[in-house]
Structure 1
Amino acid sequence: MEIKTHIVNEEKVAEIVSDEIIINSVEDALDLVGNIYYQGFDKLVISEKNLTSDFFDLKNKLAGDILQKFSNYRMRLAIIGDLKKYESQSLRDFILESNEGRQINFVETLSEALT
């Protein structure tokens, strides 16, 4: 796992770069939040390919539990990827609702995530 630093409006944004799944569980998310926060970041960008596929199955509540950790620690999160491939209407609604706020956003590109 590599952490790339981006500076946006004088704020440090961490971008996780990896070909592996980084977040498999709530504990993994909490460890990542702590690691990123300790390094002075308040925002994180991660690809959907770095999240376990269970994250996108809302029935198991994993997404809600993970995203709650980011909210609790006030760590803004952008998840990048082609999320249109997921056919679940409840997931699409969840993404739309998340994107109405500023804490958790689902976007297609890094440039969208950084803005």
Structure 2
Amino acid sequence: MGTSETFHDIPVLVCADEGESLSGEREILDLIGNASYQGAQWAVIPVERFEEDFFQLRTRVAGEIIQKFAQYRMGLVVLGDISRHTEASSALRDFVRECNRGRQTWFLADMAESRERLKG
């Protein structure tokens, strides 16, 4: 599912690029459970692991996934290039900008940016 790492004393589960698609509640709860078991406070999930409907806000998939992470008090980093999605949707672009202002969910380009953001 992923590897445990520590960024600035914060335990993080870093998911592999390849693996099961994370589109349903079962997959998300399994990931959150695995991350919690490993003591992670954040999960870093590559964009490749999300189905296309995650990036289409009208489907509400992104909102449901983000809500699960918030419910279990775990931070979420969606890692990778989502520019093709944000270029196609001003609503998604606004959503990403708002998420990145907060402390719960971030859409970040790479691991270096993830480490930097977790510095606090």
Normalised to the residue count of structure 2, the TM-score between the two structures is 0.88
Verify: 1:100 aligned to 2:101, yes or no. Answer: yes
User: How much has 1:21 moved relative to structure 2?
Assistant: 4.1
The AA in structure 1 aligned to 2:63 is G
Q: Secondary structure at the match of 2:30?
A: helix
Q: Please name the residue that 2:89 is paired with.
A: 88
- Number of matched residues? 114
Distance of 1:80 and 1:14 partners within structure 2 = 12
Unpaired segments ≥5 residues, structure 1: none
Q: Please name the residue that 1:11 is paired with.
A: 10
Q: Secondary structure at the match of 2:97?
A: helix
After superposition, residues 4-83 of structure 1 pair within 5 angstroms as: 4-83=3-82
The AA in structure 1 aligned to 2:100 is N
| CA gap 1:21/1:54 in 2 versus in 1, 3 angstroms | farther
User: How much has 1:24 moved relative to structure 2?
Assistant: 1.8
On the 8 A contact 2:12/2:42 being kept in 1, the answer is yes
Normalised to the residue count of structure 1, the TM-score between the two structures is 0.92
The AA in structure 2 aligned to 1:39 is Q
CA RMSD in angstroms, aligned pairs only = 1.2
Identity rate, percent: 35
User: How much has 1:50 moved relative to structure 2?
Assistant: 0.6
On the 8 A contact 1:21/1:52 being kept in 2, the answer is no
User: How much has 1:30 moved relative to structure 2?
Assistant: 1.5
On the 8 A contact 1:56/1:63 being kept in 2, the answer is yes
Distance of 1:6 and 1:52 partners within structure 2 = 25
